[in-house]
């Protein structure tokens, strides 16, 4: 799964980090970054994307390029 964080939308709430701690981290600018796209289950990443208050996380199927979320 391709995971993209829109840094202009990210507010650094860390919801994503608490749901998928091995995928996301917060950098020194308090923006989420993807450290390992396969660090947690796809379910955890989808949950993180859904619970991001600003919908900053975009998920796509790596092979087909099809949008998974939002």
Of 16 and 59, CB closest to ligand SF4: 16
User: Per CB under 6 A, does 59 bind ligand SF4?
Assistant: no
Number of residues that bind ligand SF4 (CB under 6 A): 14
Q: Which residues contact 18 (CB under 8 A, 6 or more apart)?
A: none
User: Per CB under 6 A, does 18 bind ligand SF4?
Assistant: no
Q: How far is the CB of 40 from ligand SF4 (least distance, A)?
A: 13
Question: Distances from the Cα of 17 to the Cαs of 22, 26, 32, 58, 65, in angstroms?
Answer: 8, 8, 8, 15, 24
């Amino acid at each position: 799964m391709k995971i993209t964080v829109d840094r202009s939308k990210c507010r650094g709430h860390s919801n994503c980090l608490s749901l998928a701690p091995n995928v996301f981290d917060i950098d020194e600018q308090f923006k989420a970054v993807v450290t390992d796209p396969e660090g947690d289950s796809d379910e955890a990443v989808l949950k993180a994307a859904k619970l991001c208050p600003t919908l900053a996380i975009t998920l796509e199927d790596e092979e087909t390029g099809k949008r998974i979320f939002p």
